[in-house]
Amino acid sequence: MAQPSPPPASPLLAYAFRPFFLLTGLYAVLVVLAWVGFLFGNWPLPLGWSPLQWHSHEMVYGFVAAATAGFVLTAMTNWTGAAPLAGRGLAALIALWLAGRLVFWFAGWLPTWLVAAVDLAFLPVLAIYVARVLLRHGNKRNLILVGVLGLLTLGNFLMHLGFLTGKTGLLKLGQTLALDIITLMMVVIAGRIIPAFTANWLRQNGGDPEWVTRSARTDQMAMLSVLLLVIAELLPSPAWLVGALALAAGAINGLRLVQWAGWRTWREPMLWILHLAYAWIVLALLLRGLDRLGGAGMTSLWQHTLGVGAMGTLIIGVMSRVAMGHTGRPIKLPRFGGLMFLAIIAATLLRLAAANQWVDYRIGVTLAALGWILAFALFVVLYWPVLTRPRADGRQG
């Protein structure tokens, strides 16, 4: 009988969430700091790409991709009972992600084919590994995530192809596809964890878990509505159809959110932050629908509601919770942890105010960036000891 491989010497490489969550926090700070410096401080960056497309690419395929890898690789061990990716294998995957970021930061100095080849490698490798583990353990239910990673790869390819050919339509299509797929991924994953976490917390704190309604029909309609929106955006669909689908998706997912009774978790920040993140998804879908149906100047509004509000809030909320639970610690915010959540909320509101021209653009974007940087810098500082030290309960992982 084969002997299990020894645990890695460093706790940091014992589980994927440890390094990838720290990299997510660090990169969130770095990429936004550089973006604001480039916009308002005339910082010279050898980007190669259009600055706007570079920014959107790195927020999705750098920041979100790292968070996705940390979550999926960790959750997969719970779904299948498989041993976690650790040690050298995990280090190799991290190196692949880092290589993609490095070539993208110096894209103006490197051959375009090299930038594309290196940057495009991470998501397919991750997808292949996830597919192999899920199939080996007969877990076909979660193969949808392999499809999600595949579509994200397609979106990334379209962005690179658009840059290589000079066709901005391909760049925008790749960006839109990424936003759509990440929305679908958030709807799928959040739909599993938020009501379950809420019901468990209510049960443990004197509430009634039956207050949380989980409707299979509503869940299916919520995911199907977003999937139809993805398909409509990929096809040459009329704007009214895309707008109608976005409004329908927003309404159905809004109903889903209400059924989870998030207002009953107001005493637990680790929970209400997740409900708030889902509320930003709902609002982004509704604003998107209005935008496609003729709302003037709402494109930036719905995109930043989704990017800063939904993605940023859900990522920092999930990372904070997973980091504590999977290191054998009580699922509670560390001291000053509440400032992370207040900062990401402030960043979202300020960025939306700037997009809606309620405040001076330069001031609004700068303050929003500072809120974002504070939120993720606090995550790195507060969770560095948690993620780099052994589990508190003495177990491996």
397 in a structural domain: no
Q: How confident is the model at residue 357 (pLDDT cuts 50, 70, 90)?
A: confident
pLDDT digits (tens, 9 = 90+) for 47-81: 666 778 888 899 999 999 999 999 999 999 988 88
CA distances from 161 to 116, 158, 394 (A): 9, 5, 49
Q: Which residues of 375-387 are buried (b: 16+ CB within 10 A; e: fewer)?
A: bbbbbbebbeebb
Q: How confident is the model at residue 296 (pLDDT cuts 50, 70, 90)?
A: low
266 in a structural domain: yes
Q: 184: helix, coil or strand? A: helix
Q: Which of 265, 286, 287 is nearest to 276 (CA)?
A: 265
Question: Does residue 3 surpass a pLDDT of 50?
Answer: no
What CATH number did the domain enclosing 151 receive?
1.20.210.10
2 in a structural domain: no
Contact status, residue 377 vs residue 315, Cβ threshold 8 Å: no
**pLDDT (average), residues 365-374:** 96
3-state secondary structure 77-108: HHHHCCCCCCHHHHHHHHHHHHHHHHHHHCHH
| pTM of the predicted protein model | 0.93
pLDDT of residue 9: 59
177 in a structural domain: yes
For residue 145, the enclosing domain spans 13-388
Domain count, the chain: 1
pLDDT digits (tens, 9 = 90+) for 136-157: 998 888 888 899 999 999 999 9
1 in a structural domain: no
Q: Which of 12-26, 137-151, 335-349, 379-393 has the lowest mean pLDDT?
A: 137-151
332 in a structural domain: yes
Q: Which of 68, 58, 69 is nearest to 100 (CA)?
A: 58
Contact status, residue 167 vs residue 115, Cβ threshold 8 Å: no
> How is residue 294 annotated by DSSP?
T
Q: How confident is the model at residue 394 (pLDDT cuts 50, 70, 90)?
A: confident
**pLDDT (average), residues 240-248:** 95
248 in a structural domain: yes
3 in a structural domain: no
